[in-house]
Amino acid sequence: HISKLPQVETSIFTIMSALANKHEAINLSQGFPNFKSDQKLIDFVSQAMNSGFNQYAPMAGNLELREVISKKFELLYNSSYNPENEITVTAGATQAIYTIISAFIHTDDEVIIFKPAYDCYEPTVKINGGKPIAIQMEGSDYKINWEEVAAKISTKTKMIIINTPHNPSGTVLARKDMLKLQALTIGTEIIILSDEVYEHMIFDALKHQSICLFAELKERSFIVASFGKTFHNTGWKMGYCCAPKELMTEFQKVHQFNVFSVNSAMQKGLADYLQEPKHYLELADFYQEKRDYFLSLIQDSKFTFTPSQGTYFQVLDFSKITKENDVEFAEKLTVEKGLASIPLSVFNLDQKDDKMLRFCFAKTNDTLKKAADILNRL
């Protein structure tokens, strides 16, 4: 067969955003803000372009940017990554994830993935010859059943992918989850890919449990991050990853032939902007307000929900409204009522959770109000 991914179709994000555009619906589907990022950041990038940051950046990324990323890990987690050889700037988190998986996954290696899972993990494992091993998270709070994880770890397990705060559910892993993961993999060579793109969007005084806080895990782990999420510029496709030197060396062997290096001016602009930690520290309050505003508007609707603990997504249960499944309902809501969302079952095993929709609240209050008016009329 000519296709390496015969089962893969156009991603749900592309489908729902296209449907929203076609029907001029309010788009709370694909995760991106509908407001402009800080003018200061845009000015830094434009200054960088004007002052000559227009040729290839170093393969691992602009050194000033790597240094300021390294400082962030010290400030927030008291954890050190050497900017010289333990950090690489990437074209968004997606490229980091793809490159990590292609650097380490051999034919028939098993990769444990928790469902519902962000959509790029599984196809990336498959295209590299690996075998995704799916574990469904349980209950309305999407808990990981660590006994099941223990049972599914085998000599073929090469990697475990975790994501906290979690897209699409908005749940966060607790310290005790991380300790379980550590206990289950201690003494093995299992690599942890920790997708932490929503690290700064965490609510209700919960603390982000970065993998770098757990020494035994850190030495076998990659952290993946995204500036698109953090600074409201998803279209810039800028991110980075960190790992101990031995792992990062392998990553860079692939990265140099995958993209070689990424956008030079934006790296310099981000390096200048990141000098002030408040630019990422204020994000939690900013998005908690948006979550609270959105939920206060729909508290008397027929939707039921558990408030999101992190990310800029809120999952709503519509089982009191219709018996339709989520894919049908999401389509109808877009086409007939003018509001686009993401059905959750597409991220799950066996189409589970087919009464849930994910809404992105990274929107102006005006947009959230218009969306809530639609939800309240259902």
Provide the binding-site residues for ligand PMP, judged by CB under 6 A: 31, 92-94, 118, 163, 167, 195, 197, 226, 228, 234, 237, 239
CB of 92 to ligand PMP, least distance (A): 3
CB of 297 to ligand GLN, least distance (A): 21
Exposure string of 77-110, with b = 16+ CB inside 10 Å and e = fewer, is bebebebebbbbbbbbbbbbbbbbbbbbbeeebb
Taking the C-alpha atoms of residue 161 and residue 154, their distance in angstroms, rounded to an integer, is 15
CB of 339 to ligand GLN, least distance (A): 15
CB nearer ligand PMP, residue 122 or residue 195: 195
The one of ligand GLN, ligand PMP, none whose footprint includes residue 93, by CB under 5 to 8 A per kind, is ligand PMP
CB of 219 to ligand GLN, least distance (A): 28
The residue from 26, 27, 30, 116 that contacts ligand GLN (CB under 6 A) is 30
- The encoded tokens of residue 130 equal 């690996």
The residue from 20, 27, 31, 231 that contacts ligand GLN (CB under 6 A) is 31
CB of 197 to ligand GLN, least distance (A): 8
| 313-317: strand order across its sheet | 313-317, 356-360, 342-343
The residue with its CB nearest to ligand GLN is: 31
Return the residues of window 166-225 that contact ligand GLN according to CB under 6 A.
167
CB nearer ligand GLN, residue 16 or residue 247: 16
Place of tokens 């899972």: 117
CB nearer ligand GLN, residue 97 or residue 248: 97
Q: Is 13 in the site for ligand GLN (CB under 6 A)?
A: yes
H-assigned helices in the chain: 12-22, 39-50, 63-77, 92-104, 121-127, 146-152, 175-185, 215-218, 227-230, 245-258, 264-273, 278-281, 283-297, 326-337, 365-377
**Sign of the C-alpha dihedral computed for residues 122, 312, 356 and 175 taken in this order:** positive
CB nearer ligand PMP, residue 118 or residue 251: 118
CB of 87 to ligand GLN, least distance (A): 22
Number of H-type helices and E-type strands within the chain: 15, 12
Q: Is 123 in the site for ligand GLN (CB under 6 A)?
A: no
Q: Is 132 in the site for ligand GLN (CB under 6 A)?
A: no
Distance of CA 374 to the CA centre of its chain: 27
CB of 165 to ligand PMP, least distance (A): 9
Find the angle CA(264)-CA(269)-CA(274) to the nearest 5 degrees.
Answer: 125
Taking the C-alpha atoms of residue 247 and residue 134, their distance in angstroms, rounded to an integer, is 24
Can you give the binding site for ligand GLN, defined by CB under 6 A?
Answer: 11, 13, 30-31, 167
